Amino acid sequence: MVDTPQGETYREIAARHGRTYTTVRNQWTRHPGWPKPIGKRGKFLLFDPIAVDQVVAEHLERPTAALEPRRLYTAREIEALTGITAATIRSDRSRGRWPEPDDTSGRAHRWYGATVTQTLAGRRAYHKAAED
């Protein structure tokens, strides 16, 4: 009887974390903290799910910033608080992945904290609550 290590393949990790196989295989595994394989199932590498979850929680997921719901934030302020760059906001707006500004009366476009929080909640890497 062959003793097969218990672990997860890239596809299983991707399914469990709601990501694509390509994201796990081509992006996550490049992180220096990514765990070493613990074995193989057929031709597929296996990874310890606990070690994978630890790397994802510590390095790959980002907490949602605690924004004041009724305060208006510029793209630069959003960048400082969330890590989403102003350039990414502009790019995502042009692709329909970021909402139009709530306020366009000044030179800088601004979004309510509630709008930003709702938008970030839809981004998979931003689903943990901010820790105080």
What is the 8-class DSSP label of residue 107? Answer: S
pLDDT tens over the chain, length 132 residues: 455 568 999 999 989 888 889 989 998 999 899 999 999 999 999 999 999 999 888 877 766 678 999 999 999 999 888 888 899 999 999 999 899 999 999 889 999 999 998 888 777 555 444 443
pLDDT of residue 77: 93
B/e letters for 41-63, b = 16+ CB within 10 Å, e = fewer, are: eeeebbbbbeebeebbeeebebe
Q: Whole-model pTM above 0.75? A: no
Given a contact cutoff of 8 angstroms between Cβ atoms, the answer to whether 66 and 132 are in contact is yes
